[in-house]
Structure formats: C-alpha cells, structure tokens
Amino acid sequence: MMRFDAIIIGTGQAGPSLASRFAGAGKTVAIIERGKFGGTCVNTGCIPTKTMVASAYAAHLARRGAEFGFSVSDVRVDMKRVKTRKDAISARSNKGVEDGLRATKNCTVIQGHARFQSPGTIAVNDDVLQADNIFINVGGRASVPDMPGIHDVPFLTNSSMMEVDFLPEHLIVVGGSYVGLEFAQMYRRFGSEVTIVEMGPRLIGREDEDVSQAVLEILNAEGIRIRRNAKCISLAKRDGRVVVGMECSETPKEVAGTHVLLAVGRVPNTGDLGLERAGIATDQRGYIIVNDQLQTSVPGVWALGDCNGRGAFTHTSYNDYEIVADNLFNADHRRVSDRIQAYALYTDPPLGRCGMTEAELRNSRRRALVAKYPMSRVSRAFEKAETQGFIKITVDADTQQILGAAILGVGGDEVIHVLLDVMYAKAPYTVIQRAMHIHPTVAEYLPSILGKLEPLV
Ligand SMILES: Cc1cc2nc3c(=O)[nH]c(=O)nc-3n(C[C@H](O)[C@H](O)[C@H](O)COP(=O)(O)OP(=O)(O)OC[C@H]3O[C@@H](n4cnc5c(N)ncnc54)[C@H](O)[C@@H]3O)c2cc1C
C-alpha cells in the first residue's frame, strides 16, 4: 500500500493545479491519469477547436478579401496542415501539463485507470494507494445515445474529429448546441457542405430566442443548412453515404451526407470509478453529488470539474480548484454558489454570455431593465466589416446591479468581462457609465447602451 496526503484522479483543469498546491505545501500527492495529460480542454476540447476555429476564420476572411481591398485567387484549405497546426498547439499544452507535474517535488505521477476500493483507497495498475484526501477530476466524454442505426454507421465525436485530416464532402452535425455549432461553422469555412440536425425547435436552446435566431441567421448566411424539430433521429448507410433520418413535420424527412458528427451532449466519466465501493453518491445521470464546497457524500472526498455537474467549462473546473484550495489552505470559505455563470460560444462572431438570460429573468418576475443594441451601429464592428449580432444587457431595476448579458458580436467573448467584473463587484451599472473606455472598441459602447435601459415588460 502506498500512502499519500492526497490522491488526485484525472489531470483535467483542476487536478494539476491542486497537485501543485498540495506539493507546494510540503504534502505528498499522487496524481493519476489514464489518458492524455491535460484532459478534454487540452486534447479534444477548447484548445484544438479554437485553434481550428482560427484556421477557419483566416480562410473565411481571405475569401472576403475583395471587401477589404485585396484579392486572393483561390482559397483552398489543406486539412493536413490545419491538423498539424492544431496538433502542435495541443501538444504544447499536453506536454506542459505532464512536464509540470513530473517536475513537481512531492508529486508522484501515475499512468493508469483509477478505481475506488474503499472510501480512502484507490487501485491503479497493480498498486493500492491510500490517502485521507481524495479529489476526483475525471471529466466527461461525448454522449452517444442509443438512437436507431447507431451501431450500423460510423460516426464521429469531438474526440475522433481530432484525427480527421481530410475534408468531409458533406458533414452532418447532429446537435445544434455549443460543440456542434463550432464544428459546423469551421467545417463549412474549410469547404465542406454542412447540415445541422437539431431535435429542438431552435439552436442553442438554453439561450434567449433572439440569440438563437441571430446565430441561425449567421450560419444560414454561410450556406449551412439547419433542420430543427428533428424528432426521432436515426442513422443508416445507403449507397456509400450516411443517411440521417429525422421524423419531423418538415420535409424532406432525411438528409444524406458523407460523415456524421454526434454532438448531443456530454456524460461524466464516473461509471467505471468504483464509486459504489466508496459509497459516493451520484445523481441519475451519473454526476457526483457535491455540496457548495465540492465535498462529496463521503468525508475526505471531493469532486471537481465536469464530473460534478456544477459546470461544464474549463473555467468552472479551474474555479472548482480555487474553491477547494482556498477552503483547504487559506481558510477562505469560497462556495460554488458565489460564482456567476459565464461562458462563450466560439462561432464567428462569438457569443459572450454572463448571468441570467432574459427568459430566466422574466420567469423570476424581478423588476428589471433591458437595453439592446445592434452591432451594425458599433463603429469598431463596421470598421472590421463584422457587423452581425447585438449586445443585450439586463439590470435590476431596484439595485441597479447588472443581472445578465449576451454579447453576440465581434469581440463578444472579451467584452463580456467588463460586465462580469462589475457583477462580481456588486456595483451598480452606473459605474461603467463613469469609466472612460478606449476608442475604437466594442466596449466603449457599453456606457451609452446602459443609458438606453428600459423596463422589461
Ligand atoms: C469540443 C469541445 C470544445 C470545448 N470548448 C470549450 C471552450 O472553448 N471553453 C471552455 O471553457 N470549455 C470548453 N469545453 C469544455 C471543457 O473542455 C471541459 O469543461 C473541461 O475540459 C473539463 O475539465 P475537467 O477538469 O472537468 O476534466 P477533463 O479535462 O475532462 O479531464 C479529466 C481527465 O481525467 C482522466 N480520467 C477519467 N477517468 C479516469 C480514471 N478512472 N482514472 C484516471 N484518469 C481518469 C481523463 O483521461 C482526463 O484526462 C469544450 C469541450 C468540448 C468537448
């Protein structure tokens, strides 16, 4: 039996920082990884996809050369080179995580699949490890629902997409949410025909209707076909093509393509962790149940990142690390419920989001104000010829505090932080109106947009 002060399972966005924190405090720590160091974000998520989004954006802009005063005769994307660039950038982070962990004094790195044997012991390879503090950071993977035909047809997920080094002639993306939309737009820009098949009545169904509609129009304008209300999706092979059936009211009731990407949600990697042997409770979908400080149902065991169902982003996983570390090492009683929802969708233009949606606000029946402003009236946007989208901000009518925002437009993923930081400061929106912002930027419009707030009716 090997004994440590702490054991960490998984090297995603929380585990490595926590290992370094324990080791830095003079504690012995073991960190176990069964796959690639760095987990989803580094290897099959944020970093590779945003690298590919950048390649797709460059190709798109080159095709628009005439609008900017230059000409490019033939924009043809070489997918092998796109993949090589993506692989190099991912590998840099992957190596950085592994090298950093291996160089950390007091930290033992173990490669293998970890399983609980009891609340305080973990089996990995032929070893048994014991610690009073165990941290689960096992992340998640693409959901593969048991839809008709799923076993008859080859399909791609965000992970296998990472190996694609050719241009699919016609990519069908099943799932019109964040992951699906990013792949759909980038492959369209690489040169594929792209169809999105979405079960629900609109894309990114958690967003406000005006946001969903604007994103749909942006994608449609690039020639992406979008089929919504696709109930009972099925897969089949016919004449060398993949046919996606969509029993829905719209016709045609099927679409044939060359490749299918399944982007229909994520599932936590908790089914093969031996949680039952430790008595660690999960919910019906397999997410580990945690309290506000990320402790599981078993004392001495914490769950961080995607596997706890309290967030599904790199920054929420890293924030989980900060919460746990501050509680353990700084006696700073941070809680998950203190954080404000924030994320971005990396279509072009991106969508930056924070706080409540307008729909959530309406349901809450709070007295609120709203202001909405089109990007077509933002000078930075038309200087860059990127005028799609809008800015929408909601404010509490009584406290004057910002409640939420959606910035769909050029720079939206960055500008949103102006609002987010004021929200964390719990300051009234009027603070922004007294700030001098830089010209020309998108952010310089926030003070005047906030001057247009009207009651949300
Ligand atoms: C296509 C795509 C794009 C994304 N883009 C963004 C984005 O732009 N911004 C953003 O914030 N988020 C994005 N995300 C989400 C983000 O990648 C995840 O939220 C984040 O990586 C979750 O990190 P984590 O720490 O929970 O675990 P993960 O990064 O998933 O790491 C978990 C690790 O645990 C290991 N593991 C699992 N089980 C075991 C076991 N039993 N024993 C040992 N090791 C184990 C795994 O091999 C893995 O390395 C994206 C996700 C996808 C799929």
Task: Return the ligand 1 atom nearest residue 39 CA.
Answer: 49
For residue 116, report the distance from its CA to the centre of ligand 1, in Å: 20
Residue 49 in contact with ligand 1 by CB distance below 6 A: yes
Flag whether pLDDT at 197 surpasses 80.
Answer: yes
Residue 314 in contact with ligand 1 by CB distance below 6 A: yes
Residue closest by Cα to atom 39 of ligand 1: 138
Bridge-based pairing state of the strands 225-227 and 193-197? parallel
Query: Prior bond to 440 cis, omega within 30?
Result: yes
Task: Return the ligand 1 atom nearest residue 36 CA.
Answer: 49
How would residue 231 be classed by pLDDT, with cut points 50, 70 and 90? confident
Q: Which of 151-155, 225-229, 230-234, 291-295 has the lowest mean pLDDT?
A: 230-234
Three-state SS for 130?
Answer: strand
Flag whether pLDDT at 250 surpasses 70.
Answer: no
**Residue 422 and residue 402: Cα distance in Å, rounded?**
8
| Active-site residue flag, 170 | no
**Residue 39 and residue 263: Cα distance in Å, rounded?**
18
For residue 141, report the distance from its CA to the centre of ligand 1, in Å: 8
For residue 450, report the distance from its CA to the centre of ligand 1, in Å: 37
For the stretch 413-433, pLDDT in tens is 999 999 999 999 999 999 999
Flag whether pLDDT at 252 surpasses 80.
Answer: no
To test the pocket of ligand 1, the residue of 33, 46, 50, 185 to mutate (highest count of ligand atoms within 8 Å of its CB) is 46
How would residue 73 be classed by pLDDT, with cut points 50, 70 and 90? confident
pLDDT, average across residues 99-111: 98
**Predicted local confidence at residue 62, as pLDDT:** 97
Residue 317 in contact with ligand 1 by CB distance below 6 A: yes
Flag whether pLDDT at 300 surpasses 80.
Answer: yes
How would residue 248 be classed by pLDDT, with cut points 50, 70 and 90? low
Asked if residue 406 lies in contact with residue 211, where contact means CB atoms within 8 angstroms, the answer is yes
How would residue 362 be classed by pLDDT, with cut points 50, 70 and 90? very high
How would residue 249 be classed by pLDDT, with cut points 50, 70 and 90? low
For residue 13, report the distance from its CA to the centre of ligand 1, in Å: 7
Nearest Cα neighbor of 154 from 168, 165, 141 is 168
**Two structure tokens written together for 38:** 């760095």
Amino acid at position 384, single letter: K
Residue 306 in contact with ligand 1 by CB distance below 6 A: yes
**Two structure tokens written together for 433:** 């109106």
Give the mean pLDDT of the chain.
96
To test the pocket of ligand 1, the residue of 9, 40, 143 to mutate (highest count of ligand atoms within 8 Å of its CB) is 40
Residue 138 in contact with ligand 1 by CB distance below 6 A: yes
Alpha carbons within 13 angstroms on the beta-carbon side of residue 42 total: 20
